[in-house]
Structure 1
Amino acid sequence: MTATRRTLTPTDLAPYARTLGHTLDGVTRLRGGSKKGVYRLTFRDRSTAVAYVWSPDEDLWDAGPADPRHPFSHASGLTLFTAAAHRLAAAGVRAPRLLHADPTHTHLPADVALVEDLPGGTLEDLLDGDAVVETGVLERTAALLDTLHACTGPRFGKVAVVDNGGSSYGGSCEAVVAERALSDLDELPGRDPRAAAAYPQLAEAIGVLAAQVQPRTGPPTLIHGELGPDHVRVTPGGDLALIDIEGLMYFDVEWEHVFLRQRLGRHYDALRTGDAVGLDEARLRLYRLATHLSLVAGPLRLLDVGDFHDPEFMRGIAEHHLGLALSFLENAS
């Protein structure tokens, strides 16, 4: 982690423009990118590309589980990105086209990828207006999910590990989620007296919910892993593309749907089409509580760094999901 991020300059990024045969005219840091630096490169001919820069100076998060086979190990890096880009292309799901990948650290002490700069905004930009209905973008998002989730893998784990023949982490998806939920919960009593008071009940709830999940015999599903509306680009022509794809993995599809439901709110029902049929309610309950706890611990952890561009926003997320976790106990009693 780092406490201060240095914004890269045209001098830093000019060599990467030359790899595409362009002369760099300007650089703009784009919003977000808490695990990597995201920069729009504007070339002299007015065309553009986006640079992803993975370096310790750009990463505000801790490393997460150390074992790279763990599905929730740190979702950052060129290797994860390129593997995910290739898998999505094979699945017929669009992501920004990879233009150049440089793992050599020749010009910067970082892995760098250049990708196409997709015009337009995100699905999140459209949710509060009439355009989300008028353009049919939710229906197209549902179709994208059906395409993505129709793909499966031989075992659960990050695509970069599984597709390259890496060994299995072991256990089950629900066991990994319960383990992570307990780990997140362990961080909270020292941060908030409400979490400290509810700790025994929350720990018990995780165990009870995990015990209610029946073993699954089918293969794990290809999921984005953190699919909020801010991670779906919508071009002016209505095409959809997934971004921030480093966490792409084979896992329970319920994990994706819990996150989608929390992020989309009242718009989520429009996505309950083909791949949402037959979701396991026991998994959904466990994953819902686990996600609440993750969205308390994660933002508070990020705020420890002190360099996030909107700390009040992160505090709001943590407060909201702590309330939901506590309400979960009330509703379960």
Structure 2
Amino acid sequence: MYRLTFDNDSTVIVYIWDDAENYWPATRIDETENHADPFSHASGIDLFEAAHRRLDALGIRTPRIHLADRSRSHYPADIAVVEDVPGATLEALLQQDPHGMKAPLSRLADALDVMQRHQGPGFGKVALIDDGGVSQGYSCEQVVLDRALDDLAEAASRDTRIADTRDRLEDVVRGLAATVRPRSEYGLIHGELGPDHVLVDRHGNPVLIDIEGLMFFDVEWEHAFLRLRFGEHYRWLRRSGLDEQRLTFYTLALRLSLVAGPLRLLDGDFPDRDFMMEIAEHNLQQALAFLRQE
């Protein structure tokens, strides 16, 4: 992403989908075209536009699109020029003035409620569902289980502490998955909604960004991530009626993903390596804590 400043001091943000600027390893980049996998790497102009259309139709604020271009005539990659929303991220504002963020958090909760009550005909990325496609897997919990086992194997190949406890962690993962009852209702979720993916505009309204992973899925997946990322501020976003067994299973799956993902990213040339290692280490400790609970 780049911020462009014009002669009149107005600004826009440019998204560029160019493999040369993608920090993920090449094998992960190749997965972006597999939209049938709900957890494939969420990157691409098709995902971006489909997510934007859906959120806009629901009245959910996200930066306005000025131009979306696939022609490669302006730049040798797909690009989008979007509104540069004045204001900081919700993450920065919560650090500066947590008590002053009650209104934006309340409005974000309202937006999430609208999204999660919006049901899809199946689970999967919005772009896929809008095109009449069908996701891989027969249920959200089965997709999460398969991904968690893959993440566990990948994390074990990179860290001896996970390798030494892999069998026990796999037993816990499978045991938690077995407690989840089948379901066939899927709400609209952002998929990776941390406070760094929410801008707050001049009027105190939340603006969702990094929306390419928008999908229909179990809303507990969203709330498991919200609890991890918002911490004490999650109380503003809490929703009644969630399946606690599903939440627990998804929380462990997310912990494993947040170990394997950062370690995988470090296979490339990601610049802020210490930050990624901190994420991996924190979530590794949290994943191992499930063994002590068992």
Settle same-fold status: TM greater than 0.5: yes
1:246 aligns with 2:212: yes
Give 1:66 deviation, angstroms.
Answer: 6.2
Indicate how the Cα distance of structure 1 residues 66 and 113 shifts in structure 2: closer, same or farther if over 3 A, else same: closer
Contact 2:38-2:135 at 8 Å conserved across structures: no
Q: How many residues align?
A: 290
CA distance in 2, matches of 1:67, 1:128: 37
TM-score (norm 1): 0.84
Instruction: Find the counterpart in structure 2 of residue 318 from structure 1.
Output: 280
Identical amino acids, percent of aligned pairs: 54
Q: Which residue of 2 aligns with 1:68?
A: 35
- Which of the residues 142, 148, 151 maps onto 1:181? 148
* Alignment check: 8 A CA contact 1:299 1:314 kept: yes
Partner of 1:193: 160
**Is 1:160 aligned to residue 127 of structure 2?**
yes
Deviating beyond 4 angstroms after TM superposition, the runs of 4 or more aligned structure 1 residues are none
1:231 aligned residue? 197
Would you say the 8 A contact 1:255–1:287 is kept in 2? yes
Q: Structure 2, unaligned stretches of length 5 or more?
A: none
- Contact map agreement 1:141 1:271 (CA 8 A) in 2: yes
Q: CA 1:121/1:294 → structure 2, altered by over 3 Å: closer, same or farther?
A: same
In the TM superposition, 1:3-152 aligns within 5 A as: 38-61=1-24, 62-63=28-29, 64=31, 67-133=34-100, 136-152=103-119
Measured in 2, the distance between the counterparts of 1:216 and 1:317 equals: 32
> Which moves more between the two structures, 128-137 or 152-161?
128-137
Structure 1 residues not aligned, in runs of 5+? 1-37
Instruction: Determine helix, strand or coil for the equivalent of 1:142.
Output: helix
1:201-238, CA deviations, whole angstroms, 9 ceiling, x for partnerless residues? 11111111111100013x20000000000001101221
Does the 8 A contact of 1:188 with 1:195 survive in 2?
yes
Q: Give the TM-score of the pair, scaled to structure 2.
A: 0.95
**What is the CA RMSD across the aligned residues, in angstroms?**
1.4
SS of structure 1 residue aligned to 2:168 = helix
More helix by share: 2
Considering only CA atoms, is the larger Rg found in Structure 1 or Structure 2?
1
Q: 2:255 corresponds to which residue?
A: 292
Give matches, 1:192-231, under 5 Å: 192-217=159-184, 219-231=185-197
**8 Å Cα contact 1:65-1:72 kept in structure 2:** no
Give the whole-Å Cα distance in 2 for the aligned partners of 1:260 and 1:278. 16
